Structure 1
Amino acid sequence: MGARTGLLVYSDGAAPDLLKRVGAPDLERTTAMMRCLYPGWGIEATSGSTLADGAHPPDGRVYAGSWPGVDLVCDGRVMVDLPSRLPDELVAASAGRRMVLHAMHSVVDWLAFGVWEDGRLIRSLSLSPDSGIAEDIGDPLAFEQPYWAGDRAAGAIAWPGEDERPYPLPFHPLDMGEDALRALCGFVLEGRPEPRDVEADAVDLHGFLVRDPNAPDPAEKEAALRAAVAAMGPPRAYLLGADGTLVEREAPGGGFSAA
Structure 2
Amino acid sequence: MGSKVSILAFASEVPSVVLHADLVDQASASRELIESVLRERMEPVREVTLDEALWPLPGVACAGSFEGLELVTSLDLRQGKPSDMSSDVRRVGGDRNAFAVFMDSAIDWAAFAMWERGHLARSVSLSYEGGVVENEGVQLEFEQGFWALSTDVALGFHPLELGNEALRAFFGFVQEGRWDEHGIDPEEITLTEYRAQDAEDRQQFLREKSTRMIRLG
Q: TM-score, normalised by structure 2?
A: 0.85
Any residues of structure 2 matched to 1:42-191 within 5 Å, and which?
A: 42-86=41-85, 88-150=87-149, 168-191=154-177
Q: Relative contact order, CA 8 A, sep 6+: which one is greater? A: 2
CA contact (8 A) 2:16 2:172 kept: yes
Identity of aligned residues (%): 29
Instruction: Give the C-alpha shift of residue 218 in structure 1.
Output: 6.1
Match of 1:6 in 2: 6
**Separation in 2, partners of 1:121, 1:174:** 22
Q: Which deviations, in whole Å up to 9, do the C-alpha atoms of 1:57-116 show, x marking residues without a partner? A: 110000110101000101001111000112733442222211011000111110110100
Label 1:22 to 1:15 Cα distance change in 2 as closer, same or farther (>3 A): farther
Return the alpha-carbon distance in structure 1 between the equivalents of residues 155 and 93 of structure 2.
Answer: 32
How far apart, CA to CA, are the structure 2 residues paired with 1:191 and 1:205? 24
Q: Counterparts of 1:22 and 1:175 in 2: how far apart (Å)?
A: 29
Preserved CA contact (<8 Å) 1:52 1:189: no
The amino acid that maps onto 2:46 is S
> By percentage of residues, which structure has more helix?
2
Structure 2's unaligned 5+ residue stretches are: none
Report the CA distance between 1:219 and its aligned residue: 5.3
- Deviation of 1:182 (Å): 0.6
Structure 1 CA distance, aligned partners of 2:216 and 2:111? 40
Q: In structure 1, the residue corresponding to 2:106 is in which secondary structure?
A: helix
Structure-2 residue corresponding to 1:25: 25
Contact 1:54 1:63 in 2 (8 A): yes
Structure having the higher Rg: 1
Amino acid of the structure 1 residue aligned with 2:93:
S
Shift of 1:168: 4.7
Contact 2:5 2:54 in 1 (8 A): yes
Number of equivalences:
210
* Residues 34-45 of structure 1: pairs in structure 2 closer than 5 A: 34-39=34-39, 41-45=40-44
Q: Give secondary structure in 2 for the equivalent of 1:108.
A: coil
- CA-based RMSD of the aligned residues comes to 2.9
* 8 Å Cα contact 1:81-1:134 kept in structure 2: yes
Q: Deviations over 1:15-47 (max 9, x none)?
A: 1111136523121221122233233x1211112
Normalised by the length of structure 1, the TM-score is 0.72
Alpha-carbon contact 1:22-1:67 (below 8 Å) kept:
no
SS in 2 for 1:36: helix
Aligned equivalents of 2:45, 2:86: Cα separation in 1: 24
8 Å CA contact 2:86–2:120 kept in 1: the answer is no
